[in-house]
Amino acid sequence: MNYTTSSPRMALRPLVLALGLLAAAPLVHADAATDGALAADHQGYKVQQDAIQALNDTGRHRLASYPLAKAQCWLDVSFHEYTRNDRSAFPQGALDASRQITDYLARGGAPGAAENPAQQTPLVNDALKLRDDLWAQTAALKTHTGWRCAEKLVACGEVELVHAGNEHRQQGWRHAKPYVQIAEDLISDARLAAEACPALPVPVAPVVASPVEAPQPPAVVPVAPPPVVHERIVLSANVLFAFDRRGLADLLPEGRGQLDQLVARLDRMYARIDRLELTGHTDRLGTEAYNARLSTDRADTIKAYLQQQGVKADIVAAGRGAAEPLPNLTCAQRTQTALAKCLQPNRRVEISITGVPR
């Protein structure tokens, strides 16, 4: 069906209809689904991603704005937990939170209005509310004079706090800690971005020259360079590779899906990417030489995959082996199987992004 109209609101009617149809279709879990059901889930994620892009394309909503960034971050954490086969209501709840925001904006809702779902951050799946100090910092940043440069980082920081609260509720502090660290980094970067945000140019009143005076050249208002932001993403090595695997051909389907999401996110969210740093980590099991080589090979493989998908940024890959375990992760299990399961969060690839947001 084709809609041709000059009204941006009317141009979004196919989007609104698509959201309404998909909202009734719950997600399934990978180990209990047919290929058709999984394909429907992935199509649902694609439709929601397209809904976010469509709102940006209207010119009335920036991908770096607080409401649209929040819709994107809810979508990202939903897909992250979906690919990890999270059996709780969290993936569906996070996806619904993203849809509620885009549905509101697509219907012409005011971004700053109190009824905008983005202005609320629901504790999806009865997530615990962690780190009151970080929540207080996000509230303060919303009144900062440099808020426009920190909107996206604050939105994603709030979503990651809920993500961490869900992990704490389900599996305890050890599983929540990496996501708390991500939220802390995002909010810290938001504070720096707000403080460095250039002031908006003050309109200069036109100068009316007298009949005997020569006209004066207009005042030149210097344009400050765009703010550079830093973002960190953590991917589980168990999602990317099977045991002892490290090559391009060894990438698991879930891992390829997460990397494809990352490539699309880089294109949507950044006007310029200055640098990508890929750092591979292992647990302490195995020899130091083996872990160093495994972590380096996996980082090199992800670099090669991103370059194959068209990422043109300067990419640096390195391996740290088991030298940098996550803090507060204490594992003393006696059996090898239990110990390996406890140490799983250490088996990861960290991606640091430095660039200028759109």
Size (the chain), residues = 358
Q: What mean pLDDT value characterizes the chain? A: 85
pLDDT score for 59: 85
Q: Which of 189, 187, 193, 202 is nearest to 146 (CA)?
A: 193
The β-bridge relationship of strands 348-357 and 315-319 is: unpaired
Backbone angles phi, psi at 142, to 5 degrees: -70, -15
Indicate the pLDDT class of residue 350, thresholds 50, 70 and 90.
very high
Indicate the pLDDT class of residue 121, thresholds 50, 70 and 90.
very high
pLDDT score for 210: 59
Kindly state the average pLDDT of the residues 228-236.
90
pLDDT digits (tens, 9 = 90+) for 306-337: 999 999 889 999 999 999 998 888 888 889 88
pLDDT score for 246: 93
Indicate the pLDDT class of residue 207, thresholds 50, 70 and 90.
low
Q: Is the pLDDT of residue 156 over 70?
A: yes
- Reduced to 3 states, what is the DSSP secondary structure of residue 296? helix
The β-bridge relationship of strands 270-281 and 315-319 is: parallel
Where is pLDDT greater, at 208 or 190? 190
Kindly state the average pLDDT of the residues 38-64.
89
pLDDT score for 205: 62
Q: Is the pLDDT of residue 254 over 80?
A: yes
Indicate the pLDDT class of residue 258, thresholds 50, 70 and 90.
very high
CATH 3.30.1330.60 fits 228-358, yes or no: yes
Could you tell me the residue ranges of all domains in the chain? 1-120, 130-198, 228-358
